[in-house]
Amino acid sequence: MNPSCYALVPQIYQESQPLSGYFKKPRAPNILNESRAEDSNSMRAVGVIDSLPHFSGRHASVEKLALFLSLSALQRRLKSGNYGNMRFIASIYEKLQRHPKRIVFPEGAEPRIIQAARQFYSLRLGVPILLGDRTRIKAAAQQLNVPLEGVRIINPAESEELAPFARRFELLRRYKGLDTREARETMLLPNYFGAMMVAMHQADGMVSGTNEVTGSVLRPLFQIIKVAPQTTTAASCMIMEVEDGRFGENGVLFMADCGVIPEPTVEELADIAVDTAQLARQLIGTRPRVALLSYSTKGSATHASIGKVQAATALAQQRAGVKGLEADFDGELQADTAIVPEIACRKLPESIVAGHATVLVFPDLNSGNIASRLVQHLARANAYGQILLGLDRPAADVSRGASAHDILGVAAIVAVQSIEYQKLYPGAGEKLPGE
């Protein structure tokens, strides 16, 4: 019996207890502990104060003001000690502080990327790598008053790796008739160079997309990194962190596919459901409850698209069993049935998933992309994505509307993925490009 049917009482949003640091002095900044410090001390502890631009009244540039506003929500949270819907990302930072990683950002001169890279280093999450012209990046950082200490800068045109990367790419694309000159020109493109860095284990993950359309980010990844062994579907998911802890897992919802496959088949929908469930299990550590969504709940309407969702639900449950993934799947479900206990109690009182779904799988890209953006803006949710699923290495394609805080969160999630990526995709990362 669905637990919500026994007592439809709103869940109390419990405050997390402060977590202890994991480093000896000088210890790593802890976003939960440091946020209780008085006034600006909390911001300085996580490297925000020293990287915010200095204003000069009405002469402050629009670019600096936009950057400041993008971090203002984080500043208010840290100064007040009210973490609200930051618990999830704070837990991600905690995990990464114990296992720092290298994340490459191909759009190195973008102000939001520079700010996120600085925060990545300040929080002791690992080594951020910015790609691009060194002079441009330093000038942009200086204009924003962002120190680049701990941030690595690589200009592909001056890198010792350009020639070997080009040879690798030529091997990969030889069946397309790519010659040496074309391979070198392609490797000068930051997204291609960054993808090759990840493929060659010179970085643990890649985050791009602030100034690029999705195709410009995905194309290098699909050509160089490709899908993981025993995997046929590459998709994506958004991770939403909302204020109301009654939804999802204490306010955290995984939504897929929101960025890659326009019209997924039954097999692709099943893969999306299983891959997203695996990611949810890795990041939040609880048994995923996966709802495959439709405009119908258990046959309340009849259409070929509904039959596809029903078939994908059964197939996902079967594939999860083969992988040894402990998760619950149900579908087809309407969105309110999936996440609202009161409605689920009336429609599906026996369902374990209904009313308590932590993973929402959409029937197509239109519905997934639209729903994720509505949740982000109408619910004022923290939105982290697109986290790419099914690739041989971790990567993400962020929105062009992403803030510095969003980019930082995505980079941290990609880095945490890389810690145990082979558990998500056995055999991933074992082969180098061209082998």
pLDDT at site 85: 57
- Local structure of 109: helix, strand or coil: coil
Q: Please give the single-letter amino acid code of residue 237.
A: C
Residue-wise pLDDT for 336-351, tens only, equals 999 999 999 999 999 9
Q: In the beta sheet, which residues pair with residue 235?
A: 389
Task: Over range 146-162, report the average pLDDT.
Answer: 96
Give phi and psi for 388, each to the nearest 5: -80, 140
Q: What is the DSSP letter of 222?
A: I
- Local structure of 156: helix, strand or coil: helix
Q: Tell me the C-alpha distance between 228 and 425, whole Å.
A: 6
Residue-wise pLDDT for 410-431, tens only, equals 999 999 999 999 999 999 999 9
Decide: residue 342, CB within 10 A, 0-12 exposed, 13-18 middle, 19+ buried.
exposed
Residue-wise pLDDT for 158-216, tens only, equals 999 999 999 999 999 887 778 899 999 999 999 999 999 999 999 999 999 999 899 99
pLDDT at site 178: 86
CB–CB of 432/199 below 8 Å? yes
CATH 3.40.50.10750 fits 228-390, yes or no: yes
> Where do the structural domains in the chain lie, given as residue ranges?
31-225, 228-390
Task: Over range 14-24, report the average pLDDT.
Answer: 31
Predicted TM-score (pTM) of this structure: 0.82
Residue 397 above 60 pLDDT? yes
Q: What is the mean pLDDT of the chain?
A: 84
Residue-wise pLDDT for 53-75, tens only, equals 443 333 344 444 444 444 445 44
| Higher local confidence (pLDDT), 435 or 6 | 435
pLDDT at site 304: 86
Residue 356 above 80 pLDDT? yes
Residue 271 above 90 pLDDT? yes
Q: 31-225: what fold?
A: Rossmann fold (3.40.50)
Domains 31-225 and 228-390 share a fold: yes
